[in-house]
């Protein structure tokens, strides 16, 4: 019975593997493809003689940094007709059309492989009339408040209709165009724009925002549109965490401390550096004052007493290290110290622990005394685990620690009978 089952499994595996190999061979084998159509002007449908036709291979990933590959280049004849043939393997492809003075236009190519058993033949993709609208150049400069250039600035213009679709969204009606300023703040979009009204989106650098213009017009009668883009530094709040007893030029003994800013529905989280310095930078639409909090942990939970306005510099937040709890563990009735135990404190939200209970290793504490450090102010639960087998294993004591106080908690264990 086992032998028969194994043979059935082996036969099924071989059949599946053979089918997979056949499918892979079918998918990856190049297909003979002919791409044809007519290049015409959008406004009057007249043929565009000499229109350049390029077939591009696009990367499988949508990462814009990955290169595209030109597989073939041809041109339309005097009547605007084009016909190019090539072998296309499995992947994503696009036919692009361009001619001087007009927008580049793209059409996605999706050749379908022949069905299993079907004779291989030339697959014809007829794109029909490919309309190229008149395009105008868009260029300009990115400047700061003083008129100085902003090198490396990047802007985007979304949904430019009628030109090559973005490779992330083939078949979409438009393309998001991107331009990057050089060392002198000058930029030029590589592709032309059809006449219309367009929005500008700011991208880089992140510490700046777009001030003007927010939109621009491309006009048919103007060969090139020149833009002067003005930017401004986003408002920010800078400050420093001050821990009493630690000099300003000395690293804080608290690593990974986080400052949380809240402004309306906006929440900002930033880590302080080794010297306790932090910066919170506004988002473009956020100009309201910010409440600053530092969550409890190795420090006392802190909230700045008043909302902080954007533009505030060198703010100092004076915090306190989280306090501790003195623990005395003794035997009930006799008061004899129990020295072998583990103890930890868990902050509480009502009846719900605010973090998981992870027991530390039990240790010997002379005289049954120990201190649990980094205990935030507020409601807490003390957990004590007696390692000695003659006592009940664990006890809990609910308590409230006030900021600046170090309470002493006595925990009594009954001896087992």
Do 289 and 328 belong together in one domain? no
Q: Do the domain assignments include residue 20?
A: no
Q: How many residues does the chain have?
A: 417
The closest alpha carbon to 339, from 364, 315, 314, belongs to 364
d(CA 179, CA 299): 47
pLDDT attached to residue 21:
41
Quickly list DSSP for 258-283. EEEEEETTEEEEEE--TTSEEEEE--
- CATH code of residue 247: 2.60.40.1120
Residue finishing a domain among 132, 151, 174: 132
Residue 98 shares a structural domain with residue 145: no
Same domain, 336 and 260: no
Asked whether residue 219 is domain-assigned, the answer is yes
CB of 413 within 8 A of CB of 386?
yes
My answer on whether 408 and 332 are in the same domain is yes
The token pair that represents 213 in the structure block: 């213009």
Same domain (yes/no): 283, 343 = no
Residue closest to 281 by CA, chosen among 239, 240, 310: 310
Task: Give 416: exposed, middle or buried? Use CB within 10 Å, 0-12, 13-18, 19+.
Answer: exposed
**Predicted pLDDT of residue 254:** 78
Residue 128 and residue 53 share a domain: yes
- With beta carbons less than 8 A apart as the criterion, state whether 262 and 272 touch: no
E-strand spans in 89-214? 92-98, 105-109, 123-132, 137-143, 154-161, 174-180, 186-188, 196-199, 201-204, 208-212
Domain that holds residue 343: 323-413
Q: Is 214 inside a domain boundary?
A: yes
Measured CA to CA, the distance from residue 131 to residue 129 in angstroms comes to 6
Residue 7 lies in a domain: no
Same domain assignment for residues 345 and 405? yes
Domain end point (choices 274, 297, 318):
318
Rounding to the nearest 10 degrees, give the CA dihedral for residues 208, 209, 213, 216: 100
- Residue 242 structure tokens: 């001050």
Residues 6+ apart with CB under 8 A from 4: none
Asked whether residue 365 is assigned to any structural domain, the reply reads: yes
Buried b (16+ CB within 10 A) or exposed e, 383-397: bbbbeeeebeeebeb
Q: Which long-range contacts (CB under 8 A, 24 or more apart) does 281-290 make?
A: 281/206, 281/207, 281/234, 281/235, 281/236, 282/234, 282/235, 282/236, 282/310, 283/234, 284/202, 284/209, 284/210, 284/234, 287/235, 288/263, 288/264, 289/263, 290/237, 290/261, 290/262, 290/263
Q: What is the pLDDT along the chain (417 residues), one digit of tens a residue?
A: 444 444 444 444 443 444 334 333 334 567 888 999 999 999 899 999 999 999 988 776 555 556 778 888 999 999 999 999 988 876 678 899 999 989 888 888 877 766 776 666 788 899 999 999 888 999 999 999 899 999 999 998 886 655 544 333 333 334 678 899 999 999 999 888 888 889 999 988 988 989 999 999 999 899 899 999 999 988 999 999 998 878 888 888 777 789 999 998 889 999 999 999 999 999 877 888 999 999 876 777 788 999 999 999 999 999 887 788 999 999 998 999 999 999 998 888 888 887 778 888 899 999 999 998 878 778 899 999 998 888 878 899 999 988 778 899 999 999 887
Q: How many domains, the chain? A: 4
Residue 24 included in any domain: no
pLDDT of residue 334: 92
Tokens of 296: 């409890």
In a domain, 23, yes or no: no
Check whether residue 68 and residue 124 sit in a common domain.
Answer: yes
Tell me which of 318, 352, 381 is where a domain ends: 318
Q: Tell me: do 262 and 337 sit in the same domain.
A: no
pLDDT score for 11 = 46
Please state, in angstroms and as integers, the Cα–Cα distance from residue 414 to each residue in 290, 345, 367, 374, following that order: 52, 21, 17, 29
Same structural domain for residues 275 and 204? no
Indicate which CATH number applies to the domain containing 64. 2.60.40.10
- Indicate whether 336 and 280 sit together in one domain: no
pTM assigned to the model: 0.55
Instruction: Establish if 25 belongs to a structural domain.
Output: no
Report pLDDT for 66: 64
Same domain for 52 and 89? Answer: yes
**Whole-number Cα distances in Å, 53 to 57, 77, 86, 233, 296:** 13, 11, 13, 44, 64
């Amino acid at each position: 019975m086992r032998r028969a089952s194994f043979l059935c499994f082996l036969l099924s595996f071989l059949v599946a593997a053979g089918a997979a190999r056949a499918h892979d061979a079918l998918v990856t084998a190049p297909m003979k493809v002919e791409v044809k159509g007519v290049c015409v002007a959008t406004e009057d449908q007249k043929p565009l003689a000499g229109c350049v036709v390029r077939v591009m291979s696009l990367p499988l990933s949508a990462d814009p940094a990955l290169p595209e590959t030109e597989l073939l280049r041809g041109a339309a004849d005097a009547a605007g007709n084009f016909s190019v043939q090539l072998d296309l393997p499995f992947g994503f492809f696009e036919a692009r059309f361009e001619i001087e003075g007009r927008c580049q236009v793209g059409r996605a190519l999706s050749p379908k492989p022949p069905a299993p058993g079907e004779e291989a033949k030339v697959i014809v993709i007829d794109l029909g009339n490919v309309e190229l609208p008149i395009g105008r150049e868009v260029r300009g400069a990115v400047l700061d408040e003083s008129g100085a250039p902003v090198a490396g600035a990047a802007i985007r213009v979304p949904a430019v209709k009628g030109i090559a679709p973005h490779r992330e969204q083939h078949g979409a009606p438009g393309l998001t165009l991107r331009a990057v300023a050089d060392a002198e703040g000058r930029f030029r979009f590589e592709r032309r724009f059809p006449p219309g009204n367009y929005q500008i989106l700011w991208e880089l650098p992140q510490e700046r925002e777009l001030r003007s213009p927010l939109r621009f017009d491309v006009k048919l009668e103007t060969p090139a549109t020149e833009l002067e883009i003005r930017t401004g530094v986003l408002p920010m709040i800078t400050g420093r965490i001050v821990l009493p007893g630690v000099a300003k030029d000395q690293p804080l003994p608290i690593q990974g401390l986080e400052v949380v800013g809240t402004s309306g529905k906006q929440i900002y989280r930033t880590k302080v550096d080794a010297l306790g310095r932090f910066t919170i930078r506004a988002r473009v639409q956020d100009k309201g004052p910010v409440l600053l909090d530092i969550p409890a942990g190795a420090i006392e939970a802190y909230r700045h007493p008043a909302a902080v306005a954007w533009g505030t510099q060198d703010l100092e937040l004076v915090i306190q290290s989280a306090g501790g709890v003195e623990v005395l563990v003794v035997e009930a009735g006799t008061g004899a110290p129990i020295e072998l135990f583990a103890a930890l404190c868990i902050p509480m939200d009502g009846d719900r622990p605010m973090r998981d209970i992870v027991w530390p290793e039990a240790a010997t504490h002379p005289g049954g005394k120990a201190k649990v450090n980094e205990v935030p102010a507020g409601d807490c639960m003390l957990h004590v685990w007696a390692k000695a087998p003659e006592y009940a294993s664990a006890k809990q004591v609910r308590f409230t620690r006030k900021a600046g106080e170090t309470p002493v908690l006595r925990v009594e264990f009954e001896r087992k009978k």
